[in-house]
Amino acid sequence: MAETTGAGAAPKRGFLKALEIDTRLLGMIGAFIAVCLVFNLMTDGRFLTARNIFNLTIQTVSVAIMATGMVFVIVTRHIDLSVGSLLATCSAVMAMMQTRWLPDMLGLEIGHPLLPWLSILSGLAVGGAIGAFNGWLVGYLTIPAFIVTLGGLLVWRNVAWYMTSGQTIGPLDPTYVAFGGINGTLGPAASWVVGLAATAVGVFALVSARRAKVGHGQPVKPLWAEVVLAALIAAAILGFVAILNAYDIPSARLARIFEARGETMPEGYTEGYGIPYSVLLLIFIAIVMTVTAQRTRLGRYIFATGGNPDAAELSGINTRLLTVKIFAIMGVLCALAGMVASARLANHSNDIGTLDELRVIAAAVIGGTALSGGIGTIYGAILGALIMQSLQSGMAMVGVDAPFQNIVVGAVLVLAVLIDIIYRKRTGAS
């Protein structure tokens, strides 16, 4: 038995080594696939339907957006416990803006095309400002981030409550609601175009990276490994698009859409949803944050400060201002997450984002962000968010009682950190 595994493992390791895929990433993908397969078995195949995968995707977006920012916060050895409350404040601002304040103050009527955009801009400004304020308290006044954001957890939750008098604010503007997921999708044709374009960009990135390495005389992986990698990227992107396209819009709703256009729906007509705008937003944020992390000075300083704050300071990096920037980014991302979350529900509710700080931190940590600082990836955090959401939805579908769901999620977070500690000890990574 042991011999078989040993013999099987050796060439496999060579294969994976040639692909140069991070073992940690593989582990996370493996865990995600395992979670999906187990729930699929337990729900008699209901978990891996186009409908459920679509729902899972749009439910993940809000937490995943914040998790990308939490990577920067944790990499610099800070923490942000106020993200759920900050989301609520931003969501409240955006909801109040479009339903009360802008109509009252500027006289814009409900349904005015500027309303959603002005609301979103104010939400982003408020999120960025509160985040920068948090960063100032942490960076310049040297109050520990744990305390600043623990206070913020209470403060911003209740600022949101005060602004809305605790009421549910809605209905929200239809354009705004399109960012929530199911009410705003690309449709099958445009989704295929986006999928093919993304595949092309991915393959182009592989080719140009290889050219650059050859140009600088650096070693490259074998050509077959690049081809396999390109094929995997294409399969993942196009497979994902195919699944989102396969989820059909209910016929009653389609009929209403046709009616609104003044047409009648042909008999037996079907149409898939395609990629939701919220997912496009997440992909855009993921790309921007990854480029920031890996290819900008800001990202370099974030990781350097996480690795050795004194060295960063002595290298002339203004670590205080850096802290302000990191928390400001976190604040803007909370606003975007708040937009997606309230748009998905089509209203702002008083308890929106409650306990999201736990989900966001868990997503980042499960995704490989080290609490000791200096290490973390954006894609890892998004995958972490996906794993957390799959666990939660899967348990709900299986019929696990709510208290047990939360107990499992909490335990998984602790277990993930333990596995991470063991992994780092084994591989000798700091």
Partner 1 sequence: MAIDRTGTPLVEMENMCISFGGIRAVDDVSVNLWPGEVVGLLGHNGAGKSTLIKMLSGAYHADRGTIRINGEEAHIHNPRDARRYNIETIYQTLALADNLNASANLFLGRELVTATGLVDDARMEAETARIMARLNPNFRKFRDPVSALSGGQRQSVAIARAVYFNARILIMDEPTAALGPHETQMVSELIEELKRQGIGIFLISHDIHDVMKLCDRASVMKNGQLVGTVDVAKVTDDDLLGMIILGKHPGQHAAA
Instruction: Between 55 and 319, name the residue whose CB sits nearer to partner 1.
Output: 319
Q: Rule CB under 8 A: which of 316-355 touch partner 1? A: 316-318
Residue from 300, 397, 405, 417 binding partner 1 (CB under 8 A)? 300
For residue 291, state whether it binds partner 1 (rule: CB under 8 A).
Answer: yes
What are the CB-based long-range contacts (under 8 Å, 24+) for 45-53? 46/397, 47/394, 47/397, 50/243, 50/244, 50/246, 50/247, 51/247, 52/393, 52/397, 53/243, 53/244, 53/247
Instruction: Between 51 and 295, name the residue whose CB sits nearer to partner 1.
Output: 295
How many residues of this chain bind partner 1 (CB under 8 A)? 29
For residue 308, state whether it binds partner 1 (rule: CB under 8 A).
Answer: yes
Cα 157 to chain centroid, rounded: 21
Whole-angstrom CA distances from 26 to 230, 335, 368 are: 16, 31, 12
For residue 304, state whether it binds partner 1 (rule: CB under 8 A).
Answer: yes
Structure token digits, residue 121? 């801009």
Q: What's the one-letter identity of residue 317?
A: I
For residue 272, state whether it binds partner 1 (rule: CB under 8 A).
Answer: no
Q: Which stretch binds partner 1 (CB under 8 A): 79-87, 105-113, 164-172, 294-302?
A: 294-302
Rg of the chain over Cα atoms, rounded to whole angstroms, equals 23
Instruction: Between 216 and 426, name the residue whose CB sits nearer to partner 1.
Output: 216
For residue 297, state whether it binds partner 1 (rule: CB under 8 A).
Answer: yes
Structure token digits, residue 332? 């803007």
Write out the H or E segment, with its range, that includes residue 292. helix 277-295
Minimum distance from residue 64 beta carbon to partner 1 (Å):
24
**What mask, x for binding partner 1 by CB under 8 A, covers residues 190 to 229?**
----------------------x--xx-x-----------
Cα 281 to chain centroid, rounded: 10
Instruction: Between 93 and 302, name the residue whose CB sits nearer to partner 1.
Output: 302
Q: Does residue 202 contact residue 237 with C-beta atoms inside 8 Å?
A: yes
Minimum distance from residue 17 beta carbon to partner 1 (Å):
15
> Could you write out the DSSP letters of every residue in 231-282?
HHHHHHHHHHHHHHHHSBPPHHHHHHHHHHTT--PPTT---B--SBHHHHHH
Instruction: Between 142 and 218, name the residue whose CB sits nearer to partner 1.
Output: 218
Minimum distance from residue 303 beta carbon to partner 1 (Å):
6
For residue 142, state whether it binds partner 1 (rule: CB under 8 A).
Answer: no
Structure token digits, residue 10? 């050796």
Q: Which stretch binds partner 1 (CB under 8 A): 161-169, 197-205, 302-310, 392-400?
A: 302-310
* CA pair distance 346, 175, nearest whole angstrom: 11
**What mask, x for binding partner 1 by CB under 8 A, covers residues 351 to 390?**
-----------------------xx---------------
Which parts of this chain interact with partner 1 (CB under 8 A)?
Answer: 212, 215-216, 218, 291, 295-297, 300-301, 303-308, 310-318, 374-375, 428, 430
